[in-house]
Structure 1
Amino acid sequence: MTATGKAIKYNYKALHKPKALIYGQGQTAVITGWTVKGAIAKHLHPQEYAVIGQLYSPTRGINLLIRNLLYNPHVRYLVVLNATREDKNAGAGICLLDFFRNGFEEGLSDTGRRCWVIRSLYVGYIDIEVDASALQKLRQSIEFQEAKSIAEACNLVKSFAEKVASKPWGLPLEFPISIVVPTALPGSRYAHRIEGKTIAETWVKIIHLIKTTGTIRPSAYEGQWQELIDVMAVVTSEPENFYFPEPNYLPINRDFLQEYISQTLDDAPNQEGVKYTYGQRLRSWFGRDQIQQVIDKLVIDIDSARAVMSLWDVSNDANDSPPCLNHIWVRIVDNELSMTATLRSNDMFSAWPANAMGLRALQQHIRDEICKISTHSLKMGPLITISQSAHIYDDCWENAEKVIQSQYTKICQQRDYADPAGSFVISVQDGKILVEQMTPGSGEVVNCFLGKSAKQLYQQIAASCQGLQIEHAMYLGTELQKAEFALSMEQELSYEQDKSIKKLKCEG
């Protein structure tokens, strides 16, 4: 208000993510963290605030938020809500407050780019292109407060609104911003299968595939993403205490994981501004504990194909911020408990590792509870996730490229020749090439292929063994071509699998 009691209306203009914000005419910016921004907006009048927005990540959001504040110097107050476990776990609000409390210094981002690094326990960056003097002026010109609840945040906003209006601290400032230009090679858009022993290994393979062949499209939250449809990721051997590489290149650490697992396994009370947690959807949302139902079902009938959990609420999820995780299916075959989860939309760079570890923890919990209350002795089978929209947001493309460059080649060098289709023994006999397919482990011959040309044989094998691993198939093609060449000159050359073609010794 002015000194005469008349309200001044300001116009907040966002340069970045404009559709993600709620706009008012006041001088206070409200940052809600993971709490739904509408939960605060409904308690306020638009004249009491300038803008309300959510901040999920310090590394992905603060840079654009600061740029927007620099362009709107009429904003003189800041209220940051840290009310939920998700807020504390992400640390975005704390990092933003630390920018105003502690300042920043020049350093390097996690991709090695020069930037301003916020002095905080939580990692946050601002582009080096933003002038340091402008950042210092912003810090000096905005009064900030932290709120621990929606009620406290609303009271702070109202108290700021009652003050006499302050003049803008300067002119709107806009600074250059670098744009990462993606590339994409030809490839199938639909239905991909990726397998790895650990979640970390599988994750690197996933982001390599998306960054290599994913379609570049507008995202649901402004900007772009690179996307593949229906990515099936199979994790075969994740250890029970979870594997974190050293140095850790995953976007999460053990401290974050422990809190995230709790959100997946445990029920949670209804809380204003928090739509749901996965644990809440599984434990109580539909008036029953689906996790316990699955355990009880499998104890009674270990072969049941009805051990299903659903997180999709048909009464409102079609219209109102539905959960990404929709469906979980648990199956026991030969005393091995596997889990399959379907996610309608999946941020594969930032979210999938936590999604997968949370699901793996749920898988372990179900296995352990079944063994505890029954005579069954079960081992852990694979975790399978099916991500129907598997995507990487444009603000993570640079980070994804760095992980690919540093890790993908190393992972590919760790070859595993244990193809579920078995092994193949190739020999040349009686003027033909014989290929025997053998079961994994036991080595029992289960199929034979006979022909005179590599093409004839690889077509037979491809038709019979559609799930053959790519590297295994390429190896077979190489060996079959060697066998065909040796057969064409059988008077002079001999073929032996995995060895160089040899000349026959001349007698006499």
Structure 2
Amino acid sequence: MTHTGHATQFRYAAQHKPNQLIYGNGQTAVITGWTVKQAIAKHLQPSEYAVIGQLYSPTRGINLLIRNLLLNPHVRYLLVINATKEDQNAGASQCLLDFFRNGIEENLSDTGRKSWVIRSTIPGYIDIDIDINALEKLRHAVEVEEAKSISEAVEKIKSYAQKPAIAPWGIPLEFPMSTVEPTVLPGTRYGHRIEGKTIAETWVKIIHRIKTTGTIRPTGYDGKWQELIDLMAVVTDEPADFYFPEPNYLPIDKSFLEEYISQILDDSPHREGVKYTYGQRLRSWFGRDQIEQVIQKLIGEIDAASAVMTLWDVKDHEKGGSPCLNHIWLRVVDNELSLTATLRSNDMFAAWPANAMGLRALQKHIRDEIAQRSEYDLKMGPLITLSQSAHIYDDTWSNAEQLIQEQYAAICSKLDYADPAGNFLIEIAEGQIVVTHTTPGSGEIVGCYSGKNALKLIREICAASPAIRPDHAAYLGMELQKAANCIKIDKPYVQDQ
């Protein structure tokens, strides 16, 4: 704190997410929720606020925000913006207001850890190692107000700035945070393929793959993430009304999804402080309704390979806040409509399930519109997402570990024996192992292999059918070895016995 004439200047020191904040030297902390922080800052002088920052998630963000406030007891006013559809959807602003109004109680967090749980209808947690007395002192020392718009927020912040400086409510308090570096197993860094019947099942497999072999790297946002590059997820059978597991382990629920789908399908007017929505980029950003364009394109030429929608604007290089979802491609093959989406940067833990369900809703909308307006009654094909940077942020690593522990084994135990690479019939004829490769379904013969050496045969088969499933290849290796042993001891061989 420095004194210059009559004005008192305070310095806000953030230990958590320091590069994501705008700093001033006043006594009001401004929490903008999903509203872009610069949209508020441009209406203010640095002397009118202590700090301005965004708050996206109640379960991940509030804990760090409270730690920063404990470190800066000169903050005596807190202005929380709770204005947009995104704010209501995420609930972080509401949960923070509830912390100051209602307080906390000891309970378990979403990862089963003992925590302070905010008394709110929205789940929000604070680390148990933060002293309860410090939290209570903070709650009662800071004056908190909610604002429903940028103009209302600016007016309130300016009125606080008119008041004489107040002494800090205590001394800066810092509580050490424990961090655990995950063990990373060796694995491919580039190019992964994961398939599942539902979005929920595919998501668990994605989280497992990143968590076990992803590279740990610093992010541009004061932290770390674990990342794989170019991860393709194929969802084959998501039901029309979406599958939510019971109990629901996804990071979203049905009511959140309804809001989110409208952000993908519907245009939205430009509002100050609110970034574009995907729907705005698709419907009006480039002066064309691209969803309408691909519907017309496919009705006119059903096997077109150019049913493309783009969300990336060349201007995005200059002004930040560029969309993560960049490119959408639709294709009709064998009367089946598939949708492929490219996401340049993808938070696979918190965002991918909503991204996938929103894209599936878009795929269904296009299928239904084509059916209504033409003679084409297409089946829903797979949804494919290509996440170029597929990552999990360090503040959800423990949630990811817990998800894997509780769900991964159960999902892997549901074995589907149908391999798109086909079936292999193993027999012994004239002292040799004979393997016949047939197509799935119709059973048409497409290949034949013979020899006495099991290892040589399995290598030949895998070289000729590189898409064979790993568990199928392992099974064949075992069966071929059994057949080779039967030849050695002159015993009859029967597959699967």
Instruction: Supply the AA of the counterpart residue of 1:149.
Output: S
The Cα of 1:316 is off from its aligned counterpart by 2.8
Separation in 2, partners of 1:34, 1:462: 50
Aligned to 2:455: 455
The Cα of 1:304 is off from its aligned counterpart by 0.3
Separation in 1, partners of 2:283, 2:168: 50
The Cα of 1:487 is off from its aligned counterpart by 1.6
Change (3 A) 1:328 1:318: farther
Number of residue pairs the alignment of both structures matches: 497
Separation in 2, partners of 1:174, 1:111: 24
Aligned to 1:503: none
Whether contact under 8 Å (2:15, 2:68) holds in the other structure is: yes
TM-score (norm 2): 0.98
Separation in 2, partners of 1:443, 1:96: 61
Aligned to 1:495: 493
The superposition leaves residues 182-231 of structure 1 with CA deviations (integer Å, 9 ceiling, x where unpaired) of 11101111101000000000000000011111111111211111111111
Separation in 2, partners of 1:157, 1:63: 24
Aligned to 1:7: 7
Describe the SS at the equivalent of 1:59: coil
Mapping of residues 44-443 of structure 1, within 5 Å: 44-317=44-317, 319-443=319-443
Change (3 A) 1:301 1:81: same
Separation in 2, partners of 1:112, 1:478: 41
Instruction: Supply the AA of the counterpart residue of 2:494.
Output: E
- Percent of aligned positions that are identical: 69
Separation in 1, partners of 2:242, 2:148: 32
Whether contact under 8 Å (1:3, 1:164) holds in the other structure is: no
Structure 2: gaps spanning 5 or more residues: none
Task: Indicate the larger mover: 285-294 or 308-317.
Answer: 308-317
The superposition leaves residues 145-196 of structure 1 with CA deviations (integer Å, 9 ceiling, x where unpaired) of 1111111111110010001111100100111212122111011111010000
The Cα of 1:488 is off from its aligned counterpart by 2.0
The Cα of 1:4 is off from its aligned counterpart by 12
The Cα of 1:132 is off from its aligned counterpart by 0.4
TM-score (norm 1): 0.96
Whether contact under 8 Å (2:3, 2:9) holds in the other structure is: no
Whether contact under 8 Å (1:41, 1:52) holds in the other structure is: yes
Describe the SS at the equivalent of 1:313: coil
Instruction: Supply the AA of the counterpart residue of 2:206.
Output: I
The Cα of 1:460 is off from its aligned counterpart by 1.6
Separation in 2, partners of 1:242, 1:58: 25
Q: Please tell me the root mean square deviation across aligned C-alpha atoms, in Å.
A: 1.4
Describe the SS at the equivalent of 1:317: helix
The superposition leaves residues 305-340 of structure 1 with CA deviations (integer Å, 9 ceiling, x where unpaired) of 000000000123355121110100000001100011
Matched, 1:482 2:474: no
The Cα of 1:432 is off from its aligned counterpart by 1.2
The Cα of 1:3 is off from its aligned counterpart by 13
The Cα of 1:361 is off from its aligned counterpart by 0.5
The superposition leaves residues 92-150 of structure 1 with CA deviations (integer Å, 9 ceiling, x where unpaired) of 00000000011110001011111100000110000001000111100101111111111
Instruction: Supply the AA of the counterpart residue of 1:498.
Output: D
Instruction: Supply the AA of the counterpart residue of 1:413.
Output: S
Instruction: Supply the AA of the counterpart residue of 2:459.
Output: Q
Instruction: Supply the AA of the counterpart residue of 1:21.
Output: L
The superposition leaves residues 340-371 of structure 1 with CA deviations (integer Å, 9 ceiling, x where unpaired) of 11110110011100000000000110101000
Separation in 2, partners of 1:486, 1:306: 55
The Cα of 1:242 is off from its aligned counterpart by 0.3
Structure 1: gaps spanning 5 or more residues: 500-508
Describe the SS at the equivalent of 2:471: helix
Describe the SS at the equivalent of 1:58: coil
Whether contact under 8 Å (2:346, 2:389) holds in the other structure is: yes
